[in-house]
Amino acid sequence: MKAMCWFGKEDIRVEDVADPEILNPRDAIIEVSLTSICGSDLHLYEGFVPTMERGDILGHEFMGEVVETGHQVDNLSVGDRVVVPFPIACGNCRYCQTDLHALCDNSNPNAWMAEKAFGYSPAGIYGYSHLFGGYAGGQAEYVRVPFADVGPMKVPDELSDEEVLFLSDVFPTGYQAAEVADFEPGATVAVWGCGPVGLFAIKSAYMLGAERVIAIDHVHDRLRRARTDCGAEVLHFEEESVLHSLDEMTGGRGPDVCIEAVGMEAHGAGMVDWYDRAKQTLRLETGRPHALRQAIMACSKGGTIVVPGVFGGVIDKLPMGAAFNKGLTFKMGQTNVHHYMSPLLEHIENDEIDPTFVITHRVPLIEGPAAYAMCQHKEDNCVKVVMTP
Amino acid sequence: MARGSSTDMTLEGERSLRRSSHDDMESGLEVMNWGSVLGGSALLAYGMIRRRRFTDLVFAGLGAALAYRGLSNSRLMDRSMKRLIMHTGATHPIEVSTSMTVECPVDEVYAFWRNFENLPRFLGHIASVEELDERHSRWVARLPTGITLSWRAKIIEERENELLTWQSVKGTDIYNEGFVTFEPVADSESTELHARIVYHPPAGQLGARIVSFFDSLQTQIVREDLRSFKRLIETGELPTVQGQPSARGRHGNGRIERMRL
């Protein structure tokens, strides 16, 4: 089959590889009908995620048709059309039992490695380095889905692939960011980063009763989308002082909730940006946390910081004093997609949201490598690329 | 046995081990193969120092295995020399302990463990466990180098749903003793496991020093075994990526999956 394979920094190729096989009784094989490039895939593309190996198959946002099931999978049949959540979760452990599927105890074969890095191992993730299990990803014609009796959700025929694909990651990720902030109706929410997760976070914040959402980015087209597609007020961080503007916009209080939908490759300005870039290049820090620093400084007293943006290792110069003395609450982590898929599908079915608004490019899988480059460099107003194998 | 936190049950395990005699220890050791020891140690050091790629960890693992094999089985050394080394070594045991919580009631967890046929399913380096009688069993470990180690173990104490203590007996490749405790977690259906295994390194101070190199690897092995046990009970299978496709070739993906000696 054809699969998108990682070979190194900015070196991604579509290769012919073997078809996946059932390896465990709870596995299924899915024939992928649609897959997409996630912002977090770009961290792999840039080589910022350790433990990638040459030849690894990428992709954790995908959907398709069940073509084979292991003998312990009794809820799926061949021919079922399913969306697959990006964290792999067993459904049995104490974390899965409490809807914290992204923290599954049992799905990461390389848990020992993650324990060295994080203390305890989170769930395995498709196509996201060996630290997260080394699972082959779904940017391919076929993909093996472990614990298929728990993860994949059947989707109704009336909805197109494009309408449901983002239930695999970015829609629940944006939604979880807004939901875990647990804000009161009438709250002001600021969102750093207007990529797909940021845009879904804005929409979700309004769905959950936010009065105002202020979006921050430096790509004009993305700010335009945040304003026109999602109804946010917008700030361009290179053209105006974010801290000053947020203060003015909130009557001197600051936003109640600050969502950091950027992650380890944030863009900043001036000396601090060069400092972080140098340290990240030398691997002295693994992230450039500009947006996170700014969110902490901007957040109102007693407010909440939510981090759906992906971090992997250590970061520098986090204003802990500001966080402590303002009594901030931090919420973060990979998304417990399993928990959100079904309720969010209902929102789509009820026409409350049409997730296709983030799609800017539709390409065949074979053109994926060029699409990665376009995504990374934000060319051609790229926000979200979907690919057909 | 001062390391790690102790619950009441692990203290019981320690008491149970202390009550047993160590008379069997002497002949539990074989002589050393210095070629193996030195070659293995070099490989181990190389792997541990580089540690940049996973192949280096594999080197380290193989080196440790080789060194261990050298320590535990050789006909090269004089028997009196061996005895001298062995007796000094006996005062420096290596202790490995780890804990894991299993989402399953204690009686089921205990029953799964006590069924010796299940043991090779989660003890990754154990090829077989043969029950000889109610108290005695024969264990065979297979290392990645193709080397086979075997020993006989006897159960020192068994308390259903609480505690299992064992010790290897005379004439075996590797002297070890240990216990595993089973404790229900309050207000839940889950069980806490605490395992502690003590290996007696063969070659005195020198042996202790060499073996301490791979002490951490040993801890990893015991931890992986307990994790596999938990996973089998909770999910009925062990997660794997061995045999999945990649652009490295059809079966090129299993090499860092589980670190085993």
Band (pLDDT 50/70/90 cuts) for residue A389 is very high
List the single residue in A with minimal CA-CA distance to B250: A18
Report d(CA A82, CA A232) in Å as an integer.
Answer: 32
DSSP line for A210-235: -SEEEEEES-HHHHHHHHHTT--EEE
Nearest Cβ partner of B247 from A17, A72, A147? A17
**pLDDT above 80 (res A376):** yes
The predicted structure's pLDDT at residue B207: 52
Q: Return the residue in A14, A112, A131 with the most chain B beta carbons within 10 A, the one to mutate for interface testing.
A: A112
State the CATH class of domain A172-332.
Answer: alpha beta
Domain ranges of chain B: 8-30+83-235
Res A226 pLDDT > 90: yes
CA–CA dist A340, A195 (Å, integer): 20
Length of chain B: 261
pLDDT given for residue A313 in this prediction: 81
Is the Cβ of A53 closer than 8 Å to some Cβ of chain B? yes
Q: How confident is the model at residue B31 (pLDDT cuts 50, 70, 90)?
A: very low
Task: Count the alpha carbons within 13 Å of B212 in the hemisphere toward its beta carbon.
Answer: 9
The percent of residues in chain B predicted with pLDDT above 70, rounded, is: 54
Q: Which of A43, A17, A30 is nearest to A84 (CA)?
A: A30
Instruction: For chain B, give the percent of residues with pLDDT over 90.
Output: 30
Q: Tell me what pLDDT residue B13 has.
A: 85
The answer regarding whether domain B8-30+83-235 maps to CATH 2.40.50.140 reads: no
DSSP of B222-238: HHHHHHHHHHHHHHSS-
Q: Do domains A2-169+335-388 and A172-332 have the same CATH topology?
A: no
Residue B217: strand, helix, or coil: helix
Distance CA A314, CA A308 (A): 16
Q: What is the mean pLDDT of residues B43-72?
A: 59
The partner residues of A266 in beta bridges, in order of sequence, read none
Q: Name the nearest CA neighbour of B100 among B192, B233, B184.
A: B192
pLDDT of the residue at B8: 83
Task: Tell me whether residues A94 and B236 touch, CB distance under 8 A.
Answer: no
Is the pLDDT score of A358 beyond 70?
Answer: yes
Q: What is the pLDDT of residues A271-297, one digit of tens each?
A: 777 777 877 777 677 777 889 999 999
Query: At A44, is the secondary structure helix, strand, or coil?
Result: helix
The residue type at B36: S
Residue A65 has pLDDT above 80, yes or no: yes
A369 touches chain B (CB under 8 A): no
Give the domain ranges of chain A. 2-169+335-388, 172-332
Nearest to A142 by CA among A266, A18, A27: A18
Task: Write out pLDDT tens, residues A316-339.
Answer: 889 999 999 999 999 999 999 999
Contact A70, A26 (CB under 8 A): yes
Q: What are the residue ranges of helices labelled H in chain B?
A: 8-19, 34-50, 54-72, 79-89, 106-114, 119-122, 204-213, 215-235
User: Is a pLDDT exceeding 90 seen at residue B84?
Assistant: no
DSSP A272-327: HHHHHHHHHHTTSSS-B-HHHHHHHHHSPTT-EEEE-S---S--S---HHHHHHTT
Query: Predicted confidence band at A72 (pLDDT cuts at 50, 70, 90)?
Result: very high
The residues, ordered by sequence, that sit 6+ positions from B122 with a Cβ below 8 Å of its Cβ are B225, B226, B228, B229, B231, B232, B238
3-class DSSP assignment, residue A63: strand
Which residue in chain A has the smallest CA separation from B259? A112
What's the pLDDT score for residue B75? 41
Give residues 86 to 105 of A whose Cβ lies within 8 Å of B.
Answer: 88, 90-94, 97, 105
Residues of B in contact with A94 (CB under 8 A): 101, 103, 190
Range from A60-74, A310-324, B63-77 carrying the lowest mean pLDDT: B63-77
Per-residue pLDDT reduced to its tens digit, A91-135: 999 999 999 999 999 999 999 999 999 999 999 999 999 999 999
| pLDDT-based confidence at residue B61 (cuts at 50, 70, 90) | low
The CA distance from B257 to the nearest CA of chain A, in Å, is 6
Nearest to A10 by CA among A50, A57, A36, A43: A43
pLDDT of B18: 80
Selected residue with higher pLDDT from A148 and B145: A148
Q: Which residues are registered as beta bridge partners of A143?
A: A30
Strands A188-192 and A212-217: parallel
Mean pLDDT of chain B: 72
Cα separations in angstroms, A92 against A107, B104, B230, B234: 11, 10, 11, 6
Q: What pLDDT sits at residue B176?
A: 81
**Cβ-contact A86, A111 below 8 angstroms:** no
If you average pLDDT over residues A350-364, what whole number do you get? 97
Name the residue with higher pLDDT: B222 or A355: A355
Contact between residue B214 and residue B68 where contact means Cβ atoms under 8 Å apart: yes
How much is the pLDDT for B63? Answer: 61
Q: Hey, is A383 helix, strand or coil?
A: coil
Q: For residue B56, what pLDDT is reported?
A: 62
pLDDT of B62 reads: 62
Strand order in the sheet with A304-307: A233-236, A212-217, A188-192, A257-260, A304-307, A329-332
Q: Residue B94 — pLDDT band, cuts 50, 70, 90?
A: confident
B149 contacts B174 by C-beta, under 8 angstroms: yes
Whole-Å CA distances, A136 to A149, A384, B62, B240: 19, 22, 27, 11
Question: What value does the mean pLDDT of chain A take?
Answer: 95
Digit-coded pLDDT (tens) for A190-201 = 999 999 999 999
What is the distance between the alpha carbons of residues B45 and B74, in angstroms, rounded to a whole number? 22
Task: Give B230's contacts in chain A (Cβ within 8 Å).
Answer: 105-106
Candidate from A223-232, A261-270, B18-27 with smallest mean pLDDT: B18-27
Residue labelled with tokens 């264990």: B139
pLDDT band at B42 (very low <50, low <70, confident <90, very high): low
The answer to whether the Cβ–Cβ distance between A106 and B231 falls below 8 Å is yes
Of B190, B223, B234, the CB nearest to A106: B234
How far is residue B144 from each of residues A212, B137, B175, measured CA to CA in Å?
Answer: 61, 23, 20
Confidence at residue A165, expressed as pLDDT on a 0 to 100 scale: 98
Distance of CA B154 to the CA centre of its chain: 16
Token representation of residue B17: 């081990």
Q: Considering only A28-37, A198-207, B135-144, which range has the smallest mean pLDDT?
A: B135-144
Q: Counting Cβ atoms within 10 Å, is residue A85 exposed (0-12), middle (13-18) or buried (19+)?
A: buried
CB A72 within 8 A of CB A25: yes
Among the partner residues A24, A72, A105, nearest to B240 by beta-carbon distance: A24
Instruction: Please state, in angstroms and rounded to a whole number, the distance separating the CA atoms of residues B156 and A367.
Output: 65
Give the lowest-confidence range in A137-141, A157-161, B93-97: B93-97
Work out whether strand A81-84 and strand A87-88 pair parallel, antiparallel, or are unpaired. unpaired
Q: State the Cα–Cα distance between residues B98 and A236, nearest whole angstrom.
A: 51
- The distance from CA B53 to its chain's CA centroid, rounded to whole angstroms, is 25
Q: What integer is the mean pLDDT of B101-121?
A: 93
Residue B150 — pLDDT band, cuts 50, 70, 90?
confident
The CATH number of domain A2-169+335-388 is 3.90.180.10: yes
Q: Is residue B210 pLDDT above 50, yes or no?
A: no
> In sequence order, which residues have a C-beta less than 8 Å from that of residue A204 and are 6 or more positions away?
A174, A175, A177, A178, A179
Residues of B with CB under 8 A from a CB of A: 54, 101, 103, 190, 220, 223-224, 227, 230-231, 234-250, 252-253, 256-259
Q: What's the mean pLDDT in A301-307?
A: 98
pLDDT (tens digit per residue) in A46-57: 998 889 999 999
Best of A68, A93, A150 to mutate (most B CBs within 10 Å, chain B): A93
The answer to whether B28 touches B199, Cβ cutoff 8 Å, is no
CB B126 within 8 A of CB B119: yes
pLDDT at residue B54 is higher than 80: no
Size of interface A-B (CB pairs under 8 A): 110
Which of A370-374, B49-53, B247-251 is predicted least confidently?
A: B49-53
User: Residue B61 has which token pair?
Assistant: 């693992």
